[in-house]
């Protein structure tokens, strides 16, 4: 084995995608991963910030075993997708539309985790015809006060955000992520994911990192930073929820973690769409589908069958 070849990664219950393809959206190559029968009805998984599609390697096969064609992708700048000159929520949404349109012309279930859940709220509000069902896993941001802004204030925020991003980009454009061993990268990630087993985090390094001659690096653009540029604030997502018309299931983790939103069920419940359902797993953190994949998958498959 050469120094550039990663070892074959294994983890109990984890399965590599059945298929891998690329979709080009606006000149940016997006890596798409799939599990299950390619002729089955599709179901889309949307990962969170600083994650990648292979974080679903245990969860996705459980959904595929339920008869679904499970489709996810690495968001631009993450995993095996191409890096971009700039990053924004709008660009992520265009990529999401591109992947969904390349897969089906019919409404399909969408499961979004964390940032992927917040993104999906935005798209479900703007293009509801793409969604047959919407499951949001700890991706329901909530902050007080829930005030809106006049349009000229949003424009001012946009100018400020873009200026800040461009200044950051000039500094970070040539940066590389610090190399480390598999164990070293896993332990660094454990600071943000303290509830996940170190064995799982080591596995993530081998499927979400690359093995360079000087060590392992996450396959995430070093210039990435949370949020991109706006004008978008996480709390605005909640105001879009009540108008969603597709069957809705929200799942919250009850234990606060560094990468989570810290949203409590009582805070977000008034915004849940009419007829929607909200569940809180008191004994889990932000990565509910990784801590309890079988329980979440069973809940999701039952919800897709019965719509409630």
* pLDDT of amino acid 1: 40
* Banded model confidence at residue 221, pLDDT cuts 50, 70, 90: very high
Distance CA 263, CA 141 (A): 6
Q: Of 110, 124, 91, which Cα lies nearest the Cα of 237? A: 124
Distances (CA, A) of 241 to 104, 258, 289: 24, 24, 22
Q: What does the pLDDT look like over 68-112, one tens digit per residue? A: 999 999 999 999 999 998 788 889 999 999 999 999 999 999 999
CATH number, domain with residue 218: 3.40.50.1820
Q: What does the pLDDT look like over 122-178, one tens digit per residue? A: 999 999 999 999 999 999 988 655 555 555 566 666 677 777 777 777 777 777 889
In the chain, the number of structural domains is: 1
Q: Is 10 domain-assigned?
A: no
**298 lies in which domain range?**
19-306
Q: Is 170 domain-assigned?
A: yes
Mean pLDDT of the chain: 90
Distance CA 199, CA 10 (A): 10
Q: Is the predicted pLDDT of residue 248 greater than 80, yes or no? A: yes
* Banded model confidence at residue 256, pLDDT cuts 50, 70, 90: very high
**DSSP classification of residue 34:** E
Residue pair 189/199 in contact by the 8 Å Cβ criterion: no
């Amino acid at each position: 084995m050469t120094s550039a070849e990663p070892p074959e990664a294994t983890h109990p219950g984890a399965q590599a995608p059945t298929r891998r393809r690329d979709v080009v959206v606006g000149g940016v190559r997006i890596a798409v991963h799939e599990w299950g029968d390619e002729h089955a009805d599709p179901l889309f998984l949307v990962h969170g910030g600083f994650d990648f599609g292979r974080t679903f390697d245990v969860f996705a096969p459980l959904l595929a075993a339920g008869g679904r064609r499970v489709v996810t992708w690495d968001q631009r700048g993450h995993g095996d997708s191409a890096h971009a000159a700039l990053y924004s929520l709008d660009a992520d949404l265009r990529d999401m539309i591109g992947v969904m349109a390349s897969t089906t012309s019919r409404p399909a279930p969408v499961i979004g985790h964390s940032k992927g859940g917040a993104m999906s709220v935005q798209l479900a509000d703007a293009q509801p015809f793409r969604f047959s069902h919407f499951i949001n896993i700890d991706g329901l941001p909530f902050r007080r006060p829930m005030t809106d802004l006049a349009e000229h204030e949003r424009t001012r925020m946009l100018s400020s955000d873009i200026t800040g991003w461009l200044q950051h980009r000039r500094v970070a454009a040539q940066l590389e992520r610090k190399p480390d061993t598999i164990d070293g990268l896993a332990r660094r990630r454990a600071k943000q994911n303290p509830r996940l087993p170190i064995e799982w985090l080591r596995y993530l390094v081998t499927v979400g990192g690359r093995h360079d001659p000087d060590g392992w690096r996450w396959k995430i653009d070093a210039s990435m930073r949370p949020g991109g540029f706006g004008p978008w604030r996480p709390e605005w997502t909640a105001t879009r929820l009540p108008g969603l018309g597709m069957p809705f299931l929200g799942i919250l983790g009850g234990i606060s973690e560094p990468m989570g939103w810290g949203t409590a069920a009582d805070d977000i419940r008034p915004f849940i769409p009419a007829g929607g359902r909200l569940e809180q797993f008191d004994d889990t953190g932000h990565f509910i589908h990784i801590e309890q994949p079988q329980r979440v998958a069973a809940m999701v498959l039952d919800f897709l069958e019965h719509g409630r």
